[in-house]
């Protein structure tokens, strides 16, 4: 009997736990649906207010009236549990500022947190910031140096969504201090709706190369930044290769003349990725007179530099072809392959084949085709034939076979 | 030794094993719940719009090996091309398919042959042709000789341009937000986050998943599919997320795994020596970086990123799960040096022992319990009611785990209608009587196959449906 009781108690515990967890799951979902219904209701209120001309900030606005019928705790759950549009976010946060009070929110937003409390602090920051209070700035500045990375991350995200110059300044400060990945901060600054050229310009002189790098990258959005060309040009001499790379990239997109000179110089930089970006910069600028120097990078010891050289030469277009042709006979196999690939992508292979098939045969053209077939390999020739109209494939195949297509493996 | 003594001790051993497994599950579940709710909250606060628009978002190469996927490949590739992410490329590697996979791709995406010279970082079987799409410039299709999934992935990596790789299955349909969600953790900490995986759900019609909004998904009409779905949910929500938190996320799924490219290069790419490449690579990453004492993270998210077809029949399910059992045992055996080895930290002390306890030796105890319980009842050691109550206790305990998985999943993804949630929760206890015996058989078979040295893939047949 005792043993049976133990079994039954165990069963009751197991079944009870099963029921409780099931109910918890359903309650969690129903609470979420309730929170969503609050958001849906607010949305329809705002749409009706917009139609009627009543502004959402009006203290007697229906949104405020509706939110007043809900408990603060409920509204906080809505903020935590749902993804809010910017308009609804502002409406709710303004309401909560009035309800909770700025002083209490400030206290909450500045509080050092344990493992659970960061969410309270983060919510207070959100409410202060999107409620458009001046108290938010100080709280956000402190949050950026919080020991908890969740608080820092939330502060960065909040600042990134506040279209205010002060937000940009704080983000720039965060980048200088290095409290959060610079790439994330830069993503927000780059999407900022305001002109940040002056602010970014001030970051170019920062001791941290990471900051200089991102500032140089972001400045390409501002072609009219005064003195930008000279500053970026000087940064192409920076001791840090990432900064040199960023500077030449941005320069090529903003200041063509200055860029060409600096990019040419950087083609012989000791660091591979700088050479690669210098090559790409010249491609962006379509500096055909730099094509010989860029083509020479087809023999670079670094794969990514060779790849960048190919991309750059393609960007320069058909005018670069004469400078690529010599590499079809280069002793470096990768250079031959690279040259053939560029010529394929510039449709030069097609052009030569068309001319040879349709017009009188010319020895110099056949010689180039022969070099292309050898440098590009069987697969390139086969791909070329398969791109042609069906009616000429056989003739093209015969021609390329006569040039030794089958015997020249050429696959890298 | 008398039969009664044998049965008695067998029962005690099986019960001890069962309780150990439940304790292990409970501890990991606590970690999963803490981490899952935290991740869900962070995800709600994340500014995905900025990530989706920013030119600074790290670009990703999506690599999809395909083999005989003519029925599903177009839908899957279309979903990859529709990913909402600022910069990415899709590399489909046709691994010597014997059906019309390549032709179907050629027609659907207007492919034109091109030569591309790439750096062969990893050896792979010969490439027969490379194709670019005139309509989708970010799509590249590589046609190669058959060499297996690992070989195809390595070939894809050779041609990839970007710093992060997302290896996927060629039969999985992805939600547009898959890469955004998957890359979220890597973008926050690219120096440390080496790999991220996330949940892919089972569906008999993966392409239908795209048409439904969150909160509108139904349970499937077929019980087997629902059980498989619950299996995946439990695996991710109750286990992998907890493993992440405890630092031993030992299985990035092949259907969706993001890796930092330099890590794969450093480790030599995917290995073709194991039946499945995904779990072995994850073990290898942990082993290498723990040994080097380099801070790193391999993480799992609970967010649903796509839908994939699961086996539609019991036979094909057994084949799949036997393969999984085989590969888990292969991998754990290969990396046995990490077992309880302090050099490997939580991976050695918690992760590998967890795998041994819950996965590797499970078939032995399952078979023993399947034999012991009826014999115990037959010889009168257990009354019918005791046996019945015991089975109910186990059934409801499994139900608890299922409910926890559904709860955590709902907090993260809000995929299902409430009615579907109830439907799935009711299946939780039934799992023991319907689905679990199939897995017992499959796992036992897998263990035997491992001992026999079987390395075959035994791919399951596609569900019958109209070609797209």
Could you report the per-residue pLDDT of B113-158, keeping only the tens digit for each? 999 999 999 999 999 999 999 999 999 999 999 999 999 999 999 9
Residues B254, B149 contacting (CB under 8 angstroms): yes
Owner of token pair 């390409």: A220
Beta carbons of A341 and B117 less than 8 Å apart = yes
Beta carbons of B54 and A187 less than 8 Å apart = yes
Q: Express each pLDDT in B115-127 by its tens digit.
A: 999 999 999 999 9
**pTM for this prediction:** 0.93
Residues B230, B432 contacting (CB under 8 angstroms): no
Beta carbons of A383 and B46 less than 8 Å apart = no
Beta carbons of A7 and B389 less than 8 Å apart = yes
Nearest to B264 by CA among B344, B154, B161: B154
Residues A185, A155 contacting (CB under 8 angstroms): no
Nearest to B199 by CA among B243, B227, B234: B234
Q: Express each pLDDT in B46-88 by its tens digit.
A: 999 999 999 999 999 999 999 999 999 999 999 999 999 999 9
pLDDT given at position B122: 96
- Residue B129 distance to chain A (closest CA, Å): 7
A5, A9, A14, best to mutate vs chain B, most B CBs in 10 Å: A14
Q: Kindly report the average pLDDT of chain A as a whole number.
A: 90
Beta carbons of A191 and B393 less than 8 Å apart = no
A148 and B CB contact within 8 Å: no
A345 and B CB contact within 8 Å: yes
Among A33, A187, A341, beta carbon nearest to B57: A187
Q: Express each pLDDT in B271-311 by its tens digit.
A: 998 878 899 999 999 999 999 999 999 999 999 999 998 99
ipTM value greater than 0.85: yes
A251 alpha-carbon distance from chain centroid: 19
- Residue B363 distance to chain A (closest CA, Å): 24
**Helices A272-284 and A256-266 meet at what angle, rounded to 10?**
150
Beta carbons of A7 and B410 less than 8 Å apart = no
Nearest to B268 by CA among B140, B128, B150: B150
Beta carbons of A4 and B188 less than 8 Å apart = no
Q: What is the mean pLDDT of residues A111-129?
A: 82
A13, A21, A314, best to mutate vs chain B, most B CBs in 10 Å: A21
* Cα-based distances in Å from A365 to A47, A361, A394, B315: 70, 8, 19, 62
HSE (side-chain half, CA atoms, 13 Å) at A282: 30
Beta carbons of B56 and A8 less than 8 Å apart = no
Q: H-helix or E-strand containing B13?
A: helix B3-45
Nearest to A291 by CA among A269, A262, A322: A322
Question: Could you tell me how many CB contacts below 8 A there are between chain A and chain B?
Answer: 139
pLDDT given at position B463: 54
Residues A356, A369 contacting (CB under 8 angstroms): yes
Tell me the β-bridge partners of B202.
Answer: B308
B59 and A CB contact within 8 Å: no
* Cα-based distances in Å from B61 to A153, A380, B163: 27, 24, 8
Which 373-392 residues of chain B touch chain A by CB within 8 A?
Answer: 385-386, 389-390, 392
Residues of B in contact with A24 (CB under 8 A): 403, 407
Cα B324-B328-B331 angle, rounded to 5 deg: 135
Alpha-carbon span B38 to B41, nearest angstrom:
5
Q: What is the mean pLDDT of residues B39-50?
A: 91
Beta carbons of B56 and A11 less than 8 Å apart = no
**Helices marked H in A219-302:** 228-235, 241-254, 256-266, 272-284, 291-296
HEC states along B103-161? HHHHHHHCEEEECCCCCCCCCCCCEEEEEEECCCCCEEEEEECCCCHHHHHHHHHHHCC
The least confident of A219-228, A268-277, B361-370, B408-417 is A219-228
């Amino acid at each position: 009997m005792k043993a049976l009781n133990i079994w039954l108690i165990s069963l009751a515990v197991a079944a009870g736990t099963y029921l409780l967890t099931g109910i918890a799951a359903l309650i969690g979902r129903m609470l979420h649906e309730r929170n969503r219904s609050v958001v849906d209701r607010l949305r329809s209120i705002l749409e009706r207010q917009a139609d009627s001309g009543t502004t959402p900030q009006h203290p007697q606005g229906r949104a405020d009236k509706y939110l007043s019928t809900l408990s603060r705790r409920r509204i906080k759950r809505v903020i935590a549990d749902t993804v809010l549009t910017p308009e609804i976010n502002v409406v709710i946060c303004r309401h909560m500022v009035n309800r909770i009070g700025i002083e209490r929110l400030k206290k909450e937003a500045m509080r050092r947190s344990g493992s659970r409390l960061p969410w309270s602090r983060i919510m207070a920051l959100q409410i202060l910031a999107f409620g458009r209070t001046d108290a938010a700035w100080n709280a956000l500045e402190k949050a950026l140096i919080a020991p908890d990375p969740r608080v820092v991350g939330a502060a960065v995200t909040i600042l990134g969504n506040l279209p205010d110059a002060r937000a940009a300044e704080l983000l720039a400060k965060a980048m200088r201090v290095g409290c959060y990945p610079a790439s994330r901060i830069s993503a927000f600054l780059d999407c900022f709706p305001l002109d940040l050229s002056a602010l970014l310009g001030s970051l170019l002189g920062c001791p941290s190369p990471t900051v200089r790098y991102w500032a140089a990258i972001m400045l390409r959005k501002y072609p009219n930044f005064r003195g930008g060309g000279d500053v970026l040009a000087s940064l192409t001499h920076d001791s840090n290769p990432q900064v040199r790379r960023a500077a030449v990239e941005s320069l090529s997109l903003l200041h063509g003349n200055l860029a060409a000179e600096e990019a040419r110089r950087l083609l012989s930089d000791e660091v591979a990725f700088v050479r690669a970006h210098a090559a790409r910069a010249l491609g962006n600028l379509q500096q055909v007179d730099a094509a010989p120097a860029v083509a020479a990078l087809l023999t670079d010891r670094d794969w990514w530099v060779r790849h960048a050289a190919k991309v750059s030469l393609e960007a320069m277009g058909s005018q670069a072809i004469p400078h690529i042709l010599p590499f079809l006979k280069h002793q470096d196999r990768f250079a031959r392959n690279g040259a053939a690939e560029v010529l394929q992508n510039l449709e030069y292979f097609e052009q030569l084949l068309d001319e040879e098939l349709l017009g009188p045969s010319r020895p110099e053209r056949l010689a180039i085709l022969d070099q292309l077939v050898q440098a590009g390999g069987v697969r390139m020739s086969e791909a070329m034939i398969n791109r042609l109209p069906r009616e000429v494939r056989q003739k093209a195949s015969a021609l390329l076979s006569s040039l030794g297509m089958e015997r020249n493996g050429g696959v890298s | 030794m008398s039969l009664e003594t044998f049965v008695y001790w067998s029962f005690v051993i099986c019960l001890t094993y069962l309780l150990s497994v439940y304790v292990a599950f409970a501890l990991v579940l606590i970690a999963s719940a803490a981490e899952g709710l935290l991740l869900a909250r962070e995800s709600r606060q994340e500014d995905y719009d900025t990530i989706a628009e920013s030119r600074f978002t790290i670009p990703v190469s999506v690599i999809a090996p395909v083999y005989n996927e003519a029925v599903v490949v177009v839908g899957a590739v279309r979903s990859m091309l529709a990913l909402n992410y600022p910069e990415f490329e899709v590399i489909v590697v046709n691994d010597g398919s014997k059906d019309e996979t390549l032709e179907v791709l050629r027609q659907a995406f207007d492919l034109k042959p091109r030569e591309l010279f790439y750096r062969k970082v990893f050896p792979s079987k010969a490439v027969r042709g490379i194709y670019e799409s005139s309509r989708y410039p970010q799509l590249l299709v590589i046609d190669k000789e058959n060499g297996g999934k690992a070989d195809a992935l390595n070939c894809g990596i050779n041609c990839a341009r970007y710093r992060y790789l997302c290896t996927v299955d060629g039969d999985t349909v992805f939600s547009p937000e898959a890469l955004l969600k998957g890359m979220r953790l890597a973008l926050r900490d690219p120096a440390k986050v080496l790999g991220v995986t996330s949940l892919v759900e089972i569906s008999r019609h993966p392409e239908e998943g795209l048409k439904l909004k969150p909160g509108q998904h139904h349970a499937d009409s077929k019980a087997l599919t629902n059980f498989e779905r619950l299996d995946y949910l439990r695996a991710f929500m109750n286990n992998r997320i907890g493993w992440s938190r405890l630092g031993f996320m030992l299985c990035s799924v092949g259907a969706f795994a993001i890796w930092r490219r330099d890590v794969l290069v450093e480790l030599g790419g995917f290995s073709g020596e194991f039946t499945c490449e995904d779990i072995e690579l994850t073990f290898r990453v942990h082993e290498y970086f723990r040994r080097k004492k380099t801070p790193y993270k391999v993480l799992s998210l609970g967010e649903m990123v796509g839908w994939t077809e699961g086996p539609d029949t019991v036979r094909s399910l057994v084949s799949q799960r036997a393969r999984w059992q085989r590969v888990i045992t292969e991998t754990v055996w290969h990396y046995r040096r990490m077992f309880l080895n302090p050099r490997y930290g939580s991976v050695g002390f918690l992760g590998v022992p967890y795998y041994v306890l819950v996965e590797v030796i499970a078939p032995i105890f399952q078979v023993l319990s399947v034999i012991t319980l009826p014999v115990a009842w037959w010889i009168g050691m257990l009354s019918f009611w005791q046996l019945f109550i015991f089975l109910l206790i186990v059934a409801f305990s499994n139900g608890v785990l299922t409910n926890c998985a559904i709860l955590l999943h709902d907090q993260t993804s809000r995929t299902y209608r409430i009615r579907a949630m109830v439907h799935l929760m009711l299946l939780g206890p039934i799992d023991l009587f319907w689905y679990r015996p199939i897995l017992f058989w499959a796992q036992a078979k897998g263990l035997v196959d491992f001992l026999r040295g079987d390395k075959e893939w035994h791919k399951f047949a596609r569900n019958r449906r109209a070609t797209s």
